[in-house]
Chain A
Amino acid sequence: MSRTPGAMTRLLGGRSARLLVLTLGAVAFLFPFLHMLVGSLQKTTTGDLNGAIPTPGTLTTDSYANINDTISLGRSLLNSGVVTIGVLLSTLVFGVLAGYALARLQFRGRGTLFAALLLVQTIPFQLLMLPLYVLVVRDYGLGDSYLGMMLPFAVNSTAVFLFRQFFLQIPGEIFEAARIDGAGELAVLWRVAVPMASPALLTGCLLTFIGPWNEFLWPFLVTKDADMQPLAVSLAGFMSNLQGTVDNPTGALMAGACVLAVPAVALFLLFQHRFTHTNIDSGVKG
């Protein structure tokens, strides 16, 4: 698109012009997904318009069978699932504890820890990959293990931040009342704070989910054994090494891409209203 902002504003004046721009945008965003889906169903996957418009009679699910034979989809999905669920549970337990303490409790080092929480979010994980690889794979011997794949993501700092913000919004009197009734901090957290926090917990789960489910670099570094690889890694392996081993390799690749994309996209669409809403509220407006 080569329009200047000026021309754009003039265009945006009318409602139909807005809708035109938005529709063009939606096509640009969604078309590759259509191409992926149609390509995965074609008998011979081609890069012409047949790959964008499903034609009855040329469709088959062979590609799904092919990719399943080559990289064993079930096993890969299981690995992705175990790692993702492990990270989710650990973020929920330790993240809620930390978020509650950062929001509501007084202890030495609270300011430092909060500063660290903000700082680590600006340090891209990739930059720590080398020392982490040496420590996790060479020193701790956690290569080819679920624990090794989970460790760098075990507690999602963005989720901790989100939980903290949420607990800050709950009126202090509610916690005060529970404490006066003699509840210990753990009871206050478990019986009072957590039941009120379900919207934050859901958003926290969604944004935590897409991390380990979609992650490629780290599990790629720590898994050599194909039986331990999550789907993103085994599919990337297929992309770079195994395409020659099946008929219609592009179709098989598109089939694998669909299987990898569907869980995250489906979860997002199911909860999308809440997801974007909370993101913006706790994010930009402050």
Chain B
Amino acid sequence: MSIPAIRATGDAPTPAPTGQRADTPTQRTRPRRKFPLPRPGALFVSPYALFLLVVFAVPLGYTLWISFHRFYFTAPGAEFDAPWVGLRNYQDVFSDPVVLRSFLNIAVFLAINVPLTVVLSLVLASALNAKLPMRSFFRAAYYVPYVTASVALVAVWQFLFGAEGLVNNLLGDLAPDPSWLVNPVLAMPVIAVFVAWKQLGFFVMVYLAALQSVSKELYESAALDGAGRVRSFLSVTVPGVRPATTLVAVYAIITGANLFSEPYLLTGGGGPDHASASPVLVMYQRGIEQGHPDFAAALGVVLVLFVVVLSLLARKLTEKEG
């Protein structure tokens, strides 16, 4: 799930020529039969196709079905009725204060996480984009949090930002009260900063690659027109990497829709008082802890729609730009 959006668009220019290349040999060597045997291609992809069916298509359909019925957990094998309830689960979702709060929290998350990620990763990528000593050390250093388990990193951040943690010790009297993770105003921002920190290395690489494709001539002509460094950064670099920026923003949105471990572990179950609850955390608490899978399924459908709309939007934007 990590690299997808970028991969998907990066691929866009290739299909036409490569598709032809792949077609010709097979067509030439295998004459059409009236009742063709299954082609090796179909056999080769069948396990993967089955996997997609079982792990994506069926659950997607099932979650839709559950979301329109009154659905309970029962002992395995027990028969039970699941009456059709129309849109009632969706009404419950949209009228639930905790759900609404969780969407508001995601808005806070995005308002902090997206600009922070875009600015810092573009700055670090621009700084890296030159012949420098220890360049590969820096690249590796930025990437390390990205490959490390959230649970391990959350543990350290909990320690750093805890009431007795290093951050508060350094701040002394300036330390917030109540402390970061139990403060209703600060809990969500800490999560947004944590996620930006964890993912930044990946986006630095994305920008670094995007910077390679910004034409040197544009910088030269900007300089000829009398643009200073600041002006050429804003007029050449920033528009030049816009497709990457779009992807960074959309990927952050998808991550935001997906937050779970951070509010569950870092702020002790979306606390204080749901101030850092995320939609997926609410799905878990309502669906599995409290046994209302139908409510959680409807919430899941709302989230899937949210993510699909954004992905399509991203594709459209990047195609137009790139």
Contact = CB atoms under 8 A, between A and B. Distances in A.
Contacts of B11: 118, 161, 165, 286
A128 B254 contact: no
Interface string B87-130: 00000000000000000000000000000000110111011101
B209 interface: yes
B149 A214 contact: yes
23 contacts: A8-B126, A25-B120, A29-B142, A29-B197, A30-B144, A100-B44, A105-B39, A106-B26, A110-B41, A124-B257, A130-B288, A130-B293, A131-B63, A132-B59, A151-B54, A168-B21, A168-B22, A236-B265, A256-B155, A257-B151, A257-B153, A257-B156, A272-B136
Contact of B59 (A45, A128, A155): A128
B45 A97 contact: yes
Contacts of B166: 35, 47-49, 51-52
Contacts of A48: 166, 169
Contact of B229 (A3, A9, A134, A217): A9
A217 B151 CA distance: 10
Interface residues of A, number: 123
A196 B137 CA distance: 29
B52 interface: yes
A285 B209 contact: yes
Contacts of B23: 106
A18 B297 contact: no
Interface string A129-162: 1111111001101000000000110110110110
B49 interface: yes
Q: Main secondary structure on chain B at its contact with chain A?
A: helix
B288 A128 contact: no
B214 interface: no
Interface of B: 1-14, 18, 21-27, 29, 39-42, 44-45, 47-49, 51-52, 54-56, 58-60, 62-63, 66, 73-74, 76, 119-120, 122-124, 126-128, 130, 132-133, 136-145, 147-160, 162, 164-166, 168-169, 197, 200-201, 205-206, 208-210, 212-213, 229-230, 233-234, 238, 244, 254, 257-258, 260-261, 264-265, 268, 280, 283-284, 287-288, 293, 296-297, 300, 303-304, 307-308, 311
Nearest to A251: B159
B156 A105 contact: no
B149 A113 contact: no
A12 B66 CA distance: 55
B148 A214 contact: yes
A3 B115 CA distance: 13
Interface in A261-278: 261, 264-265, 267-269, 272-273, 276
A154 B55 contact: yes
Contact of B150 (A26, A161, A214, A267): A214
A109 B200 CA distance: 37
